[in-house]
Amino acid sequence: MGGFNNLFHTFSLLTRTQRNSLRSISLSSSSRSFCTDNGADGLQNSRVKIFDRDLKRKQRDRATWLMGQTQNDSFVDAVVENVLDRLEDCKKLFPTTLCLGGSILPIRRLLRGRGGIEKLIMMDTSYDMVKLCKDAELDDAHNEKIETSFIVGDEEFLPVKEK
Protein backbone atom coordinates (compact mmCIF):
# COMPACT_ATOMS: atom_id res chain seq x y z
CA MET A 1 0.00 0.00 0.00
CA GLY A 2 3.00 2.27 0.59
CA GLY A 3 3.89 2.10 -3.10
CA PHE A 4 0.40 3.25 -4.03
CA ASN A 5 0.65 6.26 -1.67
CA ASN A 6 4.02 7.24 -3.15
CA LEU A 7 2.62 6.95 -6.68
CA PHE A 8 -0.46 8.99 -5.73
CA HIS A 9 1.72 11.66 -4.04
CA THR A 10 3.98 11.87 -7.12
CA PHE A 11 0.96 12.12 -9.46
CA SER A 12 -0.68 14.86 -7.38
CA LEU A 13 2.64 16.78 -7.21
CA LEU A 14 2.97 16.54 -11.03
CA THR A 15 -0.61 17.69 -11.52
CA ARG A 16 -0.12 20.64 -9.16
CA THR A 17 3.11 21.62 -10.94
CA GLN A 18 1.42 21.46 -14.36
CA ARG A 19 -1.50 23.53 -13.09
CA ASN A 20 0.83 26.18 -11.66
CA SER A 21 2.87 26.35 -14.88
CA LEU A 22 -0.30 26.69 -16.98
CA ARG A 23 -1.53 29.44 -14.66
CA SER A 24 1.75 31.33 -15.02
CA ILE A 25 1.63 30.96 -18.81
CA SER A 26 -1.94 32.27 -18.97
CA LEU A 27 -1.11 35.17 -16.64
CA SER A 28 1.93 36.20 -18.66
CA SER A 29 0.12 35.98 -22.01
CA SER A 30 -2.90 37.91 -20.75
CA SER A 31 -0.76 41.01 -20.29
CA ARG A 32 -0.05 41.12 -24.03
CA SER A 33 -2.59 42.27 -26.55
CA PHE A 34 -2.63 40.88 -30.06
CA CYS A 35 -5.31 43.20 -31.43
CA THR A 36 -3.99 46.62 -30.50
CA ASP A 37 -1.28 48.72 -32.00
CA ASN A 38 1.65 48.82 -29.60
CA GLY A 39 3.72 51.96 -29.71
CA ALA A 40 7.46 51.95 -30.29
CA ASP A 41 8.07 52.50 -26.59
CA GLY A 42 6.21 49.28 -25.75
CA LEU A 43 3.30 51.09 -24.14
CA GLN A 44 -0.09 50.11 -25.39
CA ASN A 45 -2.39 52.77 -26.77
CA SER A 46 -6.15 52.38 -27.13
CA ARG A 47 -6.28 52.27 -30.94
CA VAL A 48 -7.47 48.85 -32.07
CA LYS A 49 -5.57 47.51 -35.06
CA ILE A 50 -6.72 44.02 -35.87
CA PHE A 51 -5.70 44.05 -39.53
CA ASP A 52 -2.81 45.75 -41.26
CA ARG A 53 -4.79 47.70 -43.86
CA ASP A 54 -1.70 48.72 -45.84
CA LEU A 55 -0.66 45.07 -46.16
CA LYS A 56 -4.21 44.12 -47.12
CA ARG A 57 -4.25 46.80 -49.84
CA LYS A 58 -0.94 45.43 -51.21
CA GLN A 59 -2.44 41.93 -51.27
CA ARG A 60 -5.42 43.29 -53.20
CA ASP A 61 -3.02 44.96 -55.65
CA ARG A 62 -1.35 41.57 -56.18
CA ALA A 63 -4.76 39.92 -56.57
CA THR A 64 -5.50 42.44 -59.32
CA TRP A 65 -2.45 41.28 -61.21
CA LEU A 66 -3.50 37.63 -60.77
CA MET A 67 -7.10 38.35 -61.84
CA GLY A 68 -5.84 39.89 -65.06
CA GLN A 69 -4.38 36.51 -66.02
CA THR A 70 -7.52 34.40 -65.50
CA GLN A 71 -10.87 35.12 -67.05
CA ASN A 72 -13.30 32.90 -65.12
CA ASP A 73 -13.08 31.34 -61.68
CA SER A 74 -15.64 28.56 -61.22
CA PHE A 75 -15.54 28.87 -57.41
CA VAL A 76 -16.36 32.59 -57.50
CA ASP A 77 -19.06 31.91 -60.09
CA ALA A 78 -20.65 29.30 -57.79
CA VAL A 79 -20.60 31.71 -54.83
CA VAL A 80 -22.16 34.47 -56.96
CA GLU A 81 -24.87 32.08 -58.19
CA ASN A 82 -25.67 31.06 -54.59
CA VAL A 83 -25.86 34.68 -53.39
CA LEU A 84 -28.07 35.68 -56.33
CA ASP A 85 -30.36 32.68 -55.69
CA ARG A 86 -30.73 33.71 -52.06
CA LEU A 87 -31.36 37.29 -53.10
CA GLU A 88 -34.18 36.13 -55.37
CA ASP A 89 -35.75 34.27 -52.41
CA CYS A 90 -36.04 37.54 -50.44
CA LYS A 91 -39.36 39.35 -50.58
CA LYS A 92 -37.66 42.72 -50.10
CA LEU A 93 -36.02 44.26 -53.14
CA PHE A 94 -32.48 45.57 -53.06
CA PRO A 95 -32.23 47.96 -56.01
CA THR A 96 -28.82 49.26 -54.87
CA THR A 97 -26.16 46.66 -54.16
CA LEU A 98 -22.69 47.18 -52.72
CA CYS A 99 -19.99 44.81 -53.91
CA LEU A 100 -16.97 44.75 -51.59
CA GLY A 101 -13.92 43.44 -53.38
CA GLY A 102 -13.18 42.61 -56.97
CA SER A 103 -15.98 40.13 -57.67
CA ILE A 104 -18.05 42.55 -59.68
CA LEU A 105 -17.04 40.94 -62.98
CA PRO A 106 -18.75 37.60 -62.28
CA ILE A 107 -21.64 39.42 -60.59
CA ARG A 108 -22.28 41.54 -63.68
CA ARG A 109 -21.86 38.51 -65.96
CA LEU A 110 -24.27 36.30 -63.97
CA LEU A 111 -26.77 38.95 -62.86
CA ARG A 112 -28.92 39.04 -66.04
CA GLY A 113 -31.68 41.13 -64.40
CA ARG A 114 -31.97 38.90 -61.34
CA GLY A 115 -32.82 40.13 -57.85
CA GLY A 116 -34.23 43.48 -58.93
CA ILE A 117 -30.78 45.07 -58.84
CA GLU A 118 -30.70 48.40 -60.68
CA LYS A 119 -27.48 49.90 -59.34
CA LEU A 120 -24.16 48.26 -58.42
CA ILE A 121 -21.54 50.01 -56.32
CA MET A 122 -18.14 48.35 -56.51
CA MET A 123 -15.79 49.24 -53.66
CA ASP A 124 -12.26 48.06 -52.89
CA THR A 125 -9.28 49.31 -50.90
CA SER A 126 -7.03 48.83 -53.92
CA TYR A 127 -7.03 51.49 -56.64
CA ASP A 128 -5.63 48.89 -59.05
CA MET A 129 -8.56 46.52 -58.38
CA VAL A 130 -11.10 49.29 -58.93
CA LYS A 131 -9.35 50.32 -62.16
CA LEU A 132 -9.29 46.70 -63.41
CA CYS A 133 -13.01 46.29 -62.72
CA LYS A 134 -13.84 49.64 -64.28
CA ASP A 135 -11.83 48.84 -67.42
CA ALA A 136 -13.43 45.38 -67.67
CA GLU A 137 -16.88 46.93 -67.25
CA LEU A 138 -16.24 49.22 -70.21
CA ASP A 139 -15.35 46.17 -72.33
CA ASP A 140 -18.38 44.22 -71.10
CA ALA A 141 -21.68 44.35 -72.99
CA HIS A 142 -23.74 42.56 -70.27
CA ASN A 143 -26.36 44.41 -68.25
CA GLU A 144 -26.19 47.83 -69.89
CA LYS A 145 -29.29 48.85 -67.92
CA ILE A 146 -27.52 48.42 -64.55
CA GLU A 147 -25.85 51.61 -63.36
CA THR A 148 -22.39 50.87 -61.94
CA SER A 149 -20.25 53.08 -59.71
CA PHE A 150 -16.65 52.46 -58.65
CA ILE A 151 -15.19 53.66 -55.34
CA VAL A 152 -11.81 53.27 -53.68
CA GLY A 153 -12.66 53.03 -50.00
CA ASP A 154 -12.47 51.21 -46.71
CA GLU A 155 -15.05 48.67 -45.55
CA GLU A 156 -15.09 50.36 -42.14
CA PHE A 157 -16.57 53.50 -43.73
CA LEU A 158 -19.21 52.40 -46.20
CA PRO A 159 -20.37 55.00 -48.76
CA VAL A 160 -24.06 54.21 -48.30
CA LYS A 161 -26.62 55.19 -45.70
CA GLU A 162 -29.39 53.04 -44.31
CA LYS A 163 -32.99 53.81 -45.19
The per-residue DSSP string of 6-55 comes to: HHHHHHHHHHHHHHHHHHHHHHHHHTS-SSEEE-TTS-EEEEE--S-HHH
Residue 113 to residue 84: CA distance in whole angstroms: 10
Spatial separation of the C-alpha atoms in residues 99 and 124, rounded to whole Å: 8
Decide if 7 is inside a domain. no
Provide the number of structural domains found in the chain. Answer: 1
- 100 domain-assigned: yes
Bigger pLDDT: 18 or 148? 148
Task: Say whether 95 sits in a helix, a strand or coil.
Answer: coil
H or E stretch covering 155: none
User: Does residue 39 lie within any of the structural domains?
Assistant: no
Query: Is residue 32 situated within a structural domain?
Result: no
pLDDT band at 31 (very low <50, low <70, confident <90, very high): very low
Does residue 144 lie within any of the structural domains? yes
CA 34 – CA 38 distance, rounded (Å) = 9
Proportion of the chain above pLDDT 70, given as a percent: 63
What's the one-letter identity of residue 73?
D
Of 104, 118, 119, 25, the closest CA to residue 67 belongs to 104
For residue 65, what are the domain limits? Answer: 53-152
* Per-residue pLDDT reduced to its tens digit, 37-95: 545 444 445 566 677 888 888 888 888 887 765 667 889 889 999 999 998 899 888 88
Phi, psi dihedrals of residue 117, rounded to the nearest 5° = -80, 125
d(Cα 104, Cα 108) in Å, to the nearest integer? Answer: 6
Residue 81 within any structural domain of the chain:
yes
pTM of the model: 0.61
DSSP state of 149: E
The verdict on residue 11 lying in a domain is no
- Longest pairwise C-alpha distance within the chain: 89
- Tell me if 34 is assigned to some domain: no
Q: Rg of the chain's alpha carbons, rounded to an integer?
A: 26
